[in-house]
Amino acid sequence: MYIESFQETQLRKLPCLTFSVALEKSSINADDFKKLLEVSPNLYHLSVNYEFLKPFFDNESICYLLEHRITHLLIGISSTTSLESVIDSISRLSTIFPFLKHLYFHTELDTQSIEPLILTILNHLYKWNNLVSFGLANITINGEILTKGIRE
């Protein structure tokens, strides 16, 4: 008699999984995250904390799966996240997720100026040719800084 392990049984195939949420920084390792992506062929919507996603930026196999599956992406930026790190990653995000249709950022940053992030995203929007919606939630914008940056 053949008995499968618990993990193999739980992650056989998840064809109905289309939406995954990881809004807290998780300790999931690359192998487990890759396995989840492999067994969920219809996953297209990902809502994740930036700190959850960042460790996978250099993993080619995970990036390949994300590139070919994810069309809806929400990235949460927690109050402990370095805004500079997020800004520096925007170009990488546009490479990993070239087929996005919906891109959203939600921030908990109260003390940091969010305008540099907005301007960086706006400068990279042309890389997302399929994008039909874009949003930033929970932000306060200094209109003068944003207008000046857009004009530049």
Average pLDDT along the chain: 84
Which pair of tokens denotes residue 53? 């996603």
Q: What is the pLDDT of residue 83?
A: 87
Q: How far is CA 54 from the centre of its chain?
A: 9
The three state secondary structure string of 37-78 is HHHCCCCCEEEEEHHHHHHHCCCHHHHHHHHHHCCEEEEEEC
Residue 149: band (very low, low, confident or very high) from pLDDT cuts 50, 70, 90: low
Condensed to tens digits (0 to 9), the pLDDT of residues 71-119 reads 999 999 988 888 899 999 999 999 999 999 999 999 887 666 787 888 8
Tell me the fold of 15-151. Answer: 3.80.10
Q: Where are the domains of the chain?
A: 15-151
